Amino acid sequence: NHKGKEIYIMEFDKLFNKQSRLVQILLLLIPVVNWFTEILVRLSVFLRKKDIVSLLLFILVIPGVGIILGWVDLIWTLLYGHLILAD
């Protein structure tokens, strides 16, 4: 069912934020995993909020900038428990 997958993707950021801090950090610490995590979280935030900032962050993570943003988000998550501008 296509609609079910869309709903799941739209809530990936909430799923990420519900994880323990240790799981969040591990997802952002492993290079390729952090890129996929960034893409899924940024896409779900954009689909939920539909604002320009969320769209720009989603576009930035696609070409690989997401790996760098993932390292920044790793520190942000340690401090605040969620990704930058993804609350």
* pLDDT tens-place string over residues 64-80: 776 788 888 889 989 98
DSSP per-residue codes, 51-72: -HHHHHHHHHIIIIIHHHHHHH
H helix runs in the chain, sequence order: 2-10, 12-18, 21-29, 31-49, 52-60, 66-80
Q: Which two tokens stand for residue 19?
A: 């994880």
* pLDDT tens-place string over residues 1-52: 555 555 566 788 889 989 999 999 999 998 888 888 889 998 999 998 899 9
* pLDDT attached to residue 2: 55
Taking 90 as the threshold, does the pLDDT of residue 84 lie above it?
no
Supply the pTM of this predicted model: 0.81
* pLDDT attached to residue 12: 86
Q: Please give the Cα distance from 52 to 32 (Å, whole number).
A: 26
